[in-house]
Chain A
Amino acid sequence: MPDPEPVELSPRGTLWGWTTVTATPPGSLGEAPFGFGVVELPDGLRIVTRLAGPVDHYEFGQPMHLGFVDLPGADDGDPVTTWEFHP
């Protein structure tokens, strides 16, 4: 393993694993259900990510690309932007 260092990631990859989170996890700003999975990027790095849903028709190895989602802020605060992958 090389010494870890920041790298720029590709916004495109392929689907490596997916599921649906059906109960809102602890501390989550968004509500369940939402897609959750792993996308494999071209250099071989696998990223844990939210997935744009529904995921029922997702297939192993299908192309995915980076997108963004606004989650409601806590206590009526500003929305929080995070990433998710789309088909």
Chain B
Amino acid sequence: MTAANKGVEITGIGIHPFGRWGEKTATEMGVDAVRAALADAGVGPGTRSFQAAFCGTAYSGVAAGHKVLGALALTGIPIVDVEAGCASGGAALMLAAAAIRAGQYDSVLVFGIEKMPKGIIRSSFFEPWREEAGLAATPAYFALRAQRLMRESGVTKEHLARIVVKNRRNGVHNPDAMFRKEVTVDDVLGSRVVCEPLHLFMLCSPNEGAAAVVLQRGDGGVQLRAAALRSHLPGSVLGEATPMSGVDDHDLAPPSTLAARAAYEEAGIGPTDLDVVECQDTDAARELLAYEELELCPRGTAGAWAESGHTGPTGPLPVNPSGGLLSKGEPLGASGLGQVVELVRQLRGSAGPRQVEGARIALAHTVGRGANASVTLLST
């Protein structure tokens, strides 16, 4: 590492499996993930190799990151919790990478922790009157978006089911995933309807877990080429912003597109350069929408693109080889960093039975409440 290095290198990754872990606290899961990441980076126990830490979390309360690093005797540095809904981990990466590029720090620890109850996520984002009126029905917003995608992009319920089948099949090979059993199209369409057209198996489960990444100034290894975060433009009616109203938004770029374009420009990488993608599949339609929003396929063609098998494990651009959130579940603050852990494994060639052959350029995408959207680009 010298001052001449311009890049940001990911030197260590760690994950606490996503699932439901009984009495185990978010702090304890964070300790496990951070320990694993530091060990992976070759940092000995009790050694504080980083000068700052950012902790992505939405539900862990005050100074959650301090509790994790306090348990590891690694405090004394700036420790900042970062909340940006589902994009909390991506937001933490953006801040860490920018600080390294600015010369403020040589190394930064980024981790995410979450312990969430089952079922529809209760969010302080909704004002009390909106909750009382029944308008805090998050899956209903997803369902309306799915309905729109079916209307405008030739997507069918079978396409939605096949996304679930694809991701759950990928998840079979991921020991860090919550669901590791394959499902069929019939299983998906036979599961109960939560909000038409979305069935239970088409929705990811909020759960528990932690992930950690060690960043360092350097030009080797796996490079963090860009970490962009964007919010929504005013006017969209169905985005993760869950607005009360909107306008005709056909000409408005959604936050995921804004983040993707910023990341592509920062890295000098385009969508056709990508070898592997981990994207937000909060629900099955969300993954198909991400294909369009990340400009992997033209707008209005997600259905046909999915039909082509393009994003299967042996397709030209595998998407969610980890099994996605549909297999892993979604611990908000940790989910984005979980994607990065998967992609670093892919770029190191150490993803085992999930390995995407020859993967060199990877994209991670999360989008959630706010709306906040993050796009992270990695390369070897």
44-72 of chain A: CB within 8 A of chain B: 44-48, 50, 60, 71
Contacts A/B (CB < 8 Å), 27 sampled: A1-B233, A17-B147, A18-B144, A20-B193, A20-B196, A22-B194, A23-B120, A23-B139, A25-B138, A25-B140, A26-B131, A27-B122, A28-B132, A28-B133, A28-B136, A28-B137, A29-B133, A32-B134, A36-B144, A38-B238, A44-B248, A48-B242, A48-B245, A50-B133, A50-B135, A60-B151, A82-B132
Residue numbers in A under 8 Å from B245 (CB-CB) = 45-48
With A1-B234, A23-B194 already in contact, 20 other A-B pairs whose C-beta atoms are closer than 8 Å: A17-B147, A18-B144, A20-B195, A21-B134, A21-B139, A21-B140, A21-B195, A22-B194, A25-B140, A27-B126, A27-B132, A28-B132, A28-B133, A28-B134, A30-B134, A36-B140, A36-B195, A38-B238, A50-B133, A80-B132
CB contacts under 8 Å to A, within B100-159, are 119-123, 126, 128, 131-141, 143-144, 147-148, 151
Docked Cα-Cα span, A60 to B246, in Å, equals 17
Residue interface mask B243-261, A partner, CB < 8 A = 1: 1111110000000000000
B237 CB-CB contact with A under 8 Å: yes
Q: Knowing A1-B235, A21-B137, A22-B194 are in contact, say whether A27-B128 is a contact too (CB < 8 A).
A: yes
- Contacts A28-B134, A45-B245 known; A23 to B147 CB distance under 8 Å? no
* Closest chain B residue, CB of each to CB of A20: B196
Which A residues are in CB contact (< 8 Å) with B138? 25
Main secondary structure of the interface of B (DSSP, over half): loop
Q: Find chain A residues with CB under 8 A from B248 CB.
A: 44, 46
- Give the docked Cα–Cα distance between A27 and B237 (Å): 22
B249 CB, nearest partner CB in chain A, Å? 8
Q: Does A28 contact B238, Cβ atoms closer than 8 Å? A: no
**A36 and B238 in contact, given A17-B148, A23-B119, A27-B126 (Cβ under 8 angstroms):** no
In the docked arrangement, what's the CA distance between A46 and B140, Å?
16
CB < 8 Å neighbour of B237 from A21, A23, A48: A48
B360 to chain A, nearest CB (A): 40
Residue numbers in A under 8 Å from B244 (CB-CB): 47-48
Q: Nearest 8 CB-CB pairs, A to B? A: A27-B131, A26-B122, A25-B137, A28-B134, A19-B143, A17-B144, A82-B133, A36-B140
Q: Are A26 and B148 in contact (CB under 8 A)?
A: no
